[in-house]
Structure 1
Amino acid sequence: MARKRTRNRKANVEVTQDMDPMDLINRLLPLKQKEVLIGMQGDKDLATIAGVHEYGSVKLKIPARSFIGSGKKKAQVAIGKLVRKAVTEIALGQRAGPSLFEKIGELGLDRMKKNFDRIKQPGLSPVYARRKASKKLLIADQELRNALSFTIVSKGR
């Protein structure tokens, strides 16, 4: 069985003698209690459309055009940089913790929407291409793009 390779990057915070360890713990502990979920929210029909776009449909001969998974991958580096910088600022008392979750959600959502707008592969089927006014993929599904959102939730819901 292959082991999953993981890579962790850590925020480097230099602890000095004049820092109170309890203050440091009190600032950082709330970050473990919440998480940001970025995806889409909508009704059953919209969820079906999103699923078909994300994974494709063999039965309907529709290829996968991942916008959530690929958007997540494209946002990871930027979110990682944001988190490392913000955790250092939070540890030093220069920033409040809850604002970090909002920034992560906004950044991830922005990257996911940009990814949604850039999807070009695989191409449209000839039948659908004749019906569609634009050559951009997924753009007819503006409702789907507008359903992309983020939410901040407590861990262990």
Structure 2
Amino acid sequence: MSRRTSYRRANVEVTGDMVMAELLGRLRPLTQNEVHVGMQGDAELAMIAGVHEYGSVKMKIPARSFIGTGKKKAQAAISKLVRKGINEIARGERDIESLYEEIGQLALGKMEKNFDRIKQPPISPIYAKYKVGGKKLLRAEQDLRESLTFKIVPKG
């Protein structure tokens, strides 16, 4: 299965005092890494996260996406940050690692906010009667929230 990738342009303003070789030298390392945002944990926690993210027909559990919807909600803010950051890198005002770190923190924050707002679909009345621990929707809620993380990894 191929991975779907989309690209947007971050227009870099080139002024007469910029040397193209320096500009390319500053920007080229951007193509070597990427920021991955998701969850990290043991096999059981990964299975629980997968069931919540996509649902389970067999177990009659509806999807309550917190990673995918969090990513969608963060896209506009990340795009704005990247456009600004690339121009700062091009002018030599910022280093690439700090941009990656800021992207990861922004995406993680949006994902955590999204996680905290999950209320739909509600738990079934039958399950609510037997559920221990109140009306929280997600099983292992605290462990799942704490497992949300980001990582800067080499592309490829």
Normalised by the length of structure 1, the TM-score is 0.90
Does structure 1 residue 146 correspond to structure 2 residue 146? yes
Does structure 1 residue 95 correspond to structure 2 residue 94? yes
Structure 1 position 128, deviation (Å): 2.7
Equivalent runs, 1:49-88 vs 2, <5 Å: 49-88=48-87
Q: How many residues matched?
A: 151
Q: Give a deviation string over 1:48-92, Cα, whole Å, max 9, x none.
A: 100100111111110000111101000100100000000011101
Structure 1 position 18, deviation (Å): 1.4
Structure 1 position 146, deviation (Å): 0.5
CA distance in 1, matches of 2:19, 2:36: 32
C-alpha RMSD of the superposition: 1.7
CA distance in 1, matches of 2:56, 2:139: 19
CA distance in 1, matches of 2:76, 2:137: 25
Structure 1 position 109, deviation (Å): 0.5
Match of 1:15 in 2: 14
CA distance in 1, matches of 2:145, 2:89: 33
Please tell me whether the aligned partners of residues 37 and 153 of structure 1 are also in contact (alpha carbons under 8 angstroms): yes
Question: What is the SS of the residue equivalent to 1:12?
Answer: coil
Q: Give a deviation string over 1:93-130, Cα, whole Å, max 9, x none.
A: 11111111000100000000100010111110113323
CA distance in 1, matches of 2:134, 2:102: 33
Question: What is the SS of the residue equivalent to 2:82?
Answer: helix
Question: What is the SS of the residue equivalent to 2:62?
Answer: coil
Q: Give a deviation string over 1:5-46, Cα, whole Å, max 9, x none.
A: x6x542222212211111101110111100000000011100
CA distance in 2, matches of 1:79, 1:109: 11
Unaligned runs of 5+ in 1: none
Question: What is the SS of the residue equivalent to 1:51?
Answer: helix
Please tell me whether the aligned partners of residues 36 and 151 of structure 1 are also in contact (alpha carbons under 8 angstroms): yes
